[in-house]
Amino acid sequence: MEKRTFGNTGLGVTVLGYGAMELRHVDEAQAERLLNAVLDAGINFIDTSPDYGRSEDLIGKFIAQRRDEYFLATKCGCTVPHTGGDDAPRHIWTGAQVRHNIEHSLRRLQTDYVDIWQVHSAEPDELAQSDVLETMLRIREEGKVRHIAVSMSGRAAGYGYGQLRPYLDGDWDAFESIQVWYSALARASEGAMAEAAQRGKGMIIRGVVRRVDPWQSLADATTKLGLDDLRVLGESAAQFLLRFALAHPGLHTTIIGTKSLEHLADNIRAVETGPLAADVLAEAKRRLDAAGVVSAS
């Protein structure tokens, strides 16, 4: 499987990663099959978080013995377990909280280190008054994590990737990798992603085959946006959208989540087919631009 250099970290990551959030929705036997199928296919990047249910536990339980086959990304700031009702904070931005997170994650993941350790959906102003960054740097020095990173929130209108730029300057430049949402259906981060990659950030892309409003399904989206004749024979809408995203040189790995071995196989086939050809990509972008699905930068 194609590998790309993960920014200045120099890691060689497969363009297809696995988003382990979906492990929340499967039983143990399916989690074991999925995680081993991911590694058997040569996928070498797995993204999880303390607050994805049992995801970290399942990774530890079923593939800790294959730890040298994958780069492991998890997150911090998460309140685990999340208690106190709907108005309780999902994240707490203190050094003590992130230290608690890494100790807990290492135990659950049954490993001595995490490759990419991300603040989970933090805004720069939430971190600014805290000791989170200095604590993360100390934990990196201790060898418990190899690289520190930020995973951007998807909450803000238009997916909010004007937010990405602050992480390219000043103290926040210490973050070595950035996770953003990008797809043919949600192109807001297209320009910012390119800039971040050029500046040496390892880029983790999510949302590549995620349905977005107002479309009912991925197929509904590609039909209504007039993209279907650009799909090769037999290609699903998801496979087309994946190949669209792979054509962005700022995508180093995309962490597609799935509960399904069939969808995993479809995604692997799409990656083997390769990114959209330049002329098809240009035509798809022309049609998306005309429909108002555009980059924010």
Ligand X SMILES: NC(=O)c1ccc[n+]([C@@H]2O[C@H](COP(=O)([O-])OP(=O)(O)OC[C@H]3O[C@@H](n4cnc5c(N)ncnc54)[C@H](OP(=O)(O)O)[C@@H]3O)[C@@H](O)[C@H]2O)c1
The single residue among 22, 51, 115, 176 that binds ligand X, judged by CB under 6 A, is: 22
Nearer to ligand X by Cβ, of 56 and 266: the residue is 266
- We find the least distance from the C-beta atom of residue 62 to ligand X, in angstroms, to be 16
Which of 264, 195, 248, 199 lies closest to 17, judged by CA? 264
Among residue numbers 129 through 168, which ones bind ligand X (CB under 6 A)? 151, 153-154
- We find the least distance from the C-beta atom of residue 130 to ligand X, in angstroms, to be 18
Give the integer Cα–Cα distance in Å for 217 and 215.
6
- We find the least distance from the C-beta atom of residue 103 to ligand X, in angstroms, to be 20
Identify the active-site residue in 52, 70, 159, 161.
52
Q: φ and ψ at 142, to 5 degrees?
A: -70, -10
Number of Cβ within 10 Å of residue 156's Cβ equals: 13
154, exposed or middle or buried, with CB in 10 Å at 0-12, 13-18, 19+?
A: middle
Active site residue 52: yes
Q: Residue 206: beta bridge partners?
A: 181
177 part of the interface to ligand X, by CB under 6 A: no
How far lies 134's CA from each of 90, 124, 129, in Å?
21, 14, 11
The single residue among 51, 190, 235, 266 that binds ligand X, judged by CB under 6 A, is: 266
Q: Are 209 and 203 in contact (CB under 8 A)?
A: no
Give the integer Cα–Cα distance in Å for 159 and 151.
13
| Count of residues touching ligand X (by CB under 6 A) | 26
56 part of the interface to ligand X, by CB under 6 A: no
Q: φ and ψ at 204, to 5 degrees?
A: -100, 120
Give the integer Cα–Cα distance in Å for 162 and 295.
11
267 part of the interface to ligand X, by CB under 6 A: yes
Q: Are 287 and 226 in contact (CB under 8 A)?
A: yes
Nearer to ligand X by Cβ, of 139 and 180: the residue is 180
The single residue among 4, 108, 120, 147 that binds ligand X, judged by CB under 6 A, is: 120
- We find the least distance from the C-beta atom of residue 96 to ligand X, in angstroms, to be 21
Among residue numbers 1 through 20, which ones bind ligand X (CB under 6 A)? 19-20
222 part of the interface to ligand X, by CB under 6 A: no
Nearer to ligand X by Cβ, of 174 and 219: the residue is 219
Among residue numbers 223 through 252, which ones bind ligand X (CB under 6 A)? 236, 238
Nearer to ligand X by Cβ, of 217 and 290: the residue is 217
How wide is the angle at C-alpha 45 spanned by C-alphas 277 and 144, nearest 5°? 145
47 part of the interface to ligand X, by CB under 6 A: yes
260 part of the interface to ligand X, by CB under 6 A: yes
258 part of the interface to ligand X, by CB under 6 A: yes
Number of Cβ within 10 Å of residue 68's Cβ equals: 6
Q: Which residues bind ligand X (CB under 6 A)?
A: 19-22, 47, 120-121, 151, 153-154, 179, 206-207, 209-210, 236, 238, 255-260, 263, 266-267
By annotation, the residues acting in catalysis are 52
